[in-house]
Structure 1
Amino acid sequence: MFTGIIECTTKVYKFNFYKKNLYITFINPFSYEIKINQSICHNGICFTIIHVNEKTYSVIASEETLFRTNLNFLKIKDEINLERGLMMGERLNGHIVQGHVDTTAKILKIENRNGSWLFFFKSKKKLTTKVVEKGSIAINGISLTIITCNQYTFSVSIIPYTYKKTNISFLKVGDIVNVEFDILGKYISKYIINYNDMFILK
């Protein structure tokens, strides 16, 4: 489990396909603080470490992960947001993030608001029951608050700290990002749909 509060960024060192899986190696910013089998959120994707040394570490992306995320656009030296798993007893400063990407979204517009930035996105999936204004959403693993939303588009505001601390400052119009909807909203949405189906059947 994660909170969407990015610890640092790293760069893609190398990657290669083996059958339908993608093996990715990143530069290690944590030295020996991480270990094999540990989970780290990369741009909103929860990966398990399979190899680690002082300079690099490696993970595997399955076919399902490649289908759900923006990994097909990955390039060497890409800047990646990182967050290690939440430790028990810590404050939940963002929102509950699982690291299970729901869909991707394209950046439609970026507005400089003289001290902050407004990012506008178009989701690959319909958003009707997934997002609400002032609700939480994770973009490339970053916990953000939704400003506006409709069936397919939504916007978020980025403060200077987030802009400098994460890879969002490297993004441009047309780029594809990973999106994870609020898990609480997804459970409530599913409950309501199932309840309505039961009521109709009766």
Structure 2
Amino acid sequence: MFTGLVEGIGTIVGISRVGGDVRLTVRPGFSMDCRIGDSVSVSGACLTVTDLTGRVVGMDVSTETLRCTTLGRLKTGDTVNLERALRLGDRLGGHLVAGHVDGVGTIRTKERRERSWLMRIAVDANLTAYMIDKGSVAVEGVSLTINRTGADFFECNIIPQTGRETVLLERRIGDPVNIETDLIGKYVEKFFLRGNAASRREPEGQERPGITLEMLYQNGFGD
């Protein structure tokens, strides 16, 4: 689990194919104290550290992760956002980010607004279903507040601090970016869908009831 508060920027120094998978080697631009087996968010995708050679960190990327993220497009010399996993007791300064990318968006516009940048990102409508104005979203692993949503896009501001400490302002119009929507919204939807065709079933084969007004009233969530 991560916060979406990027710790620093890393540079891709090696990419090798292992069957359908990829092995990435990254040189962090900061002192990243980690061990083999630790989880690291690489531009929003949760990867496991598999090798440490000096300050260079090696991580494996599965075929599934390559399919769902922008990591398969990386080249040697590219830069990525890095964040180590959240520890119990740490301050949660951003929002809860799982590092499980939901899809890839495309930067449509980047406009200077006073000291910040306004960025519009196009995404599939199935992702905007989990977005609300002033809600949270992770873009390239960065926790951002949504200014406005549309049917197939959302907008957010990149403040100067975020621009300096992440790779977001290096991304250009037309570039793909990793998107993770708010974790809580997906679980809420799952609970509401119980009892429908996509629902879980109890071991004896009976459907578990969904959240209904009647159930909420019965459990004290009403007048």
| Fold agreement, TM-score > 0.5 | yes
Q: Is the 8 A contact 1:45 1:141 kept in 2?
A: yes
Question: What is the percent sequence identity of the aligned residues?
Answer: 36
Which residue number in structure 2 is paired with residue 155 of structure 1? 155
Once residues 32 and 41 of structure 2 are traced to their aligned partners in structure 1, the CA distance between those partners, rounded to angstroms, is 17
Once residues 58 and 138 of structure 2 are traced to their aligned partners in structure 1, the CA distance between those partners, rounded to angstroms, is 23
SS at match of 1:64: helix
Q: Is the 8 A contact 1:127 1:151 kept in 2?
A: no
Question: Which runs of structure 2 are paired with 1:42-191 in the superposition (5 Å)?
Answer: 42-124=42-124, 126-191=126-191
Q: Is the 8 A contact 2:128 2:153 kept in 1?
A: no
Q: Is the 8 A contact 1:10 1:81 kept in 2?
A: yes
Q: CA deviation at 1:30?
A: 5.3
SS at match of 2:47: strand
Letter aligned with residue 72 of structure 2: N
Q: Is the 8 A contact 2:4 2:94 kept in 1?
A: yes
Q: Is the 8 A contact 2:106 2:176 kept in 1?
A: yes
Q: CA deviation at 1:94?
A: 0.3
Q: Which structure would you say has the larger RCO, counting Cα contacts within 8 Å and 6 or more residues apart?
A: 1
SS at match of 1:80: strand
Q: CA deviation at 1:138?
A: 0.2
Once residues 164 and 33 of structure 1 are traced to their aligned partners in structure 2, the CA distance between those partners, rounded to angstroms, is 22
Question: Could you say if the C-alpha distance between residues 158 and 195 of structure 1 is closer, same or farther in structure 2, counting changes exceeding 3 Å?
Answer: farther
Equivalenced residue count is: 199
Question: Could you say if the C-alpha distance between residues 153 and 32 of structure 1 is closer, same or farther in structure 2, counting changes exceeding 3 Å?
Answer: closer
Q: Is the 8 A contact 2:102 2:127 kept in 1?
A: no
Q: CA deviation at 1:81?
A: 0.4
Instruction: Mark the runs of 5 or more structure 1 residues left unpaired by the alignment.
Output: none
Once residues 32 and 73 of structure 2 are traced to their aligned partners in structure 1, the CA distance between those partners, rounded to angstroms, is 29
Q: Is the 8 A contact 2:11 2:29 kept in 1?
A: no
Cα deviation digits, residues 137-175 of structure 1 (max 9, x gap): 000000001111122111111100001110012111000
Q: Is the 8 A contact 1:31 1:53 kept in 2?
A: no
Q: Is the 8 A contact 1:5 1:93 kept in 2?
A: yes
Q: Is the 8 A contact 2:8 2:28 kept in 1?
A: no
Once residues 18 and 123 of structure 1 are traced to their aligned partners in structure 2, the CA distance between those partners, rounded to angstroms, is 30
Q: Is the 8 A contact 1:129 1:189 kept in 2?
A: no
Q: Is the 8 A contact 2:27 2:56 kept in 1?
A: yes
Q: CA RMSD in A?
A: 1.6
Cα deviation digits, residues 151-201 of structure 1 (max 9, x gap): 2111111100001110012111000000001100111122223356667xx
TM-score, length basis structure 2? 0.84
Once residues 134 and 86 of structure 2 are traced to their aligned partners in structure 1, the CA distance between those partners, rounded to angstroms, is 24
SS at match of 1:49: strand
Q: CA deviation at 1:34?
A: 1.2
